[in-house]
Amino acid sequence: MRMSIRAAAVVAPMLALAAGVPVSADNVVRKGVDAWTTVKGFTQTSFAKDPIPAGFFCEGSQPFTGTIVMKGAPLATKPAQGLGEPADTVVARLDDAVFNAKGEATTRIQLKALSLAGLEPIETGCGLYDVSVRLDGEQPVTTMKIVKTSAKGGSYEAPLALNVKVVFTPVTGDVKGVRELSRRVNLGPGTHSVWTFAERPRYEGSIWIDSDGNGKPDMQVRGSNFVAGISPGKGDVRFATYSTYSSQPACPPGYCAKQSCHCNPNDSAWDPDMNRDGCSDEHLHCVWVCVAAPGGSASSPSPGPGLQEDFACAFAEDIDEVESDL
């Protein structure tokens, strides 16, 4: 799966705290999990460079070199919707991250859950197969860099590595025809990687998620004072809501819905300061985020979205398209 990330803000140095002063909550990102919703149709994996071998699906089947386009399949949670939205991907920050004098902090990250499904069945020469993707065993650990660009939050870089199992199931339901394939996937930093502090943990209480793809919640997770996917703003943090699973999120007033993509399909759109390592052109994975609308409206949220705000978001989309074509 291929993904990419472009920083959404310019990194600004932060003043150092006086020696001996206790570290405040606003200078520490507590460990916890971040849950994501995949953009339908903007996640794919290609087998062009590493084909599924001949005879994999049935005797005499040809090598599969096609591209599988996927969507999110909501994770089973306990309680239901315990993550607040139909998440399909969960990343854990394994350590508390303390900001240094430059306003930078690091933590280890690891995938804890993944649930994707093919957008449509694939033709294999042995009939149609449904496709699903989940994590496969112990997951690699990578390093996440978090930057404070304001007192409320900032941007981050989070290259990901994961071991996945791709499951091919005949649409006829024949269990004898099920095939599985394991792969290692490396995903570089993504576009629009933004975060904000929260007064309370985003996910509260005892929350369990399905980590192994069997449909039964088996792993307990917790939130923290870190909210990934929403730009820093003034006042209480409010979260994106989803009217249907495959739809664009309705972001808080003053914010625009954006796609954050790992392994950018358009190399010209990379931020020159981002590390491009760890991506290949076989993979793409995009999730929804909420980014402050042009004109600073996110700093003073309006009572509700209006025509001016809608125009600002539409204008920002036009600018993005122009930049990607340059």
Rounded distance between C-alpha atoms, residue 248 and residue 145, angstroms: 27
Of 79, 66, 49, 41, which is closest to residue 204 (Cα–Cα)?
A: 79
- For residue 229, the tally of other CB atoms under 10 A from its CB is 25
Residue 228: phi and psi, rounded to 5, are -80, 140
Question: What are residue 153's DSSP bridge partners?
Answer: 150, 196
276: which 2 tokens? 């491009």
Local confidence pLDDT in tens for the 326 residues of the chain: 433 322 222 222 222 222 222 334 579 999 999 988 888 877 888 898 889 999 999 999 999 999 999 899 999 999 887 887 778 999 999 999 999 999 999 999 999 999 999 999 999 999 999 999 999 999 999 999 999 988 888 889 888 889 999 999 999 999 999 999 999 888 877 777 888 888 777 677 789 999 998 999 999 998 888 888 887 754 444 444 443 444 566 677 777 777 777 765 454 444 433 444 455 667 777 788 777 776 654 433 333 333 344 545 754 444 343 333 43
A 10 A CB-CB count for 98 gives 12
Can you tell me the distance from the alpha carbon of 185 to that of 265, in angstroms, rounded to the nearest whole number? 16
Q: Which of 272, 308, 276, 271 is nearest to 293 (CA)?
A: 308
Count the Cβ atoms, other than its own, within 10 Å of residue 177: 17
CA distance 136 to 111: 11
Q: In whole angstroms, how far apart are CA 130 and each of 120, 168, 172, 309? A: 7, 6, 10, 40
Contact 260, 274 (CB under 8 A): no
Strands 160-170 and 128-135, bridge-based pairing: antiparallel
- Of 188, 152, 166, the residue nearest 276 (C-alpha): 188
Give the global pTM.
0.76
**Per-residue model confidence (pLDDT) at position 82:** 81
Q: How far is Cα 158 from Cα 108, in angstroms, rounded to an integer?
A: 9
Q: Which pLDDT value is given to residue 279?
A: 59
Picking from 220, 289, 317, 283, the residue whose alpha carbon sits closest to that of residue 37 is 289
DSSP string, 54-86: TTSSSTTPPPB--EEEEEE-PPPEESTTTTSS-
pLDDT value of residue 312: 53
Return the H-helix or E-strand segment holding 45.
strand 38-46
Q: Determine the pLDDT at residue 93.
A: 96
* 203, 84 contact by CB (below 8 A): yes
d(CA 27, CA 101): 10
pLDDT of residue 179: 96
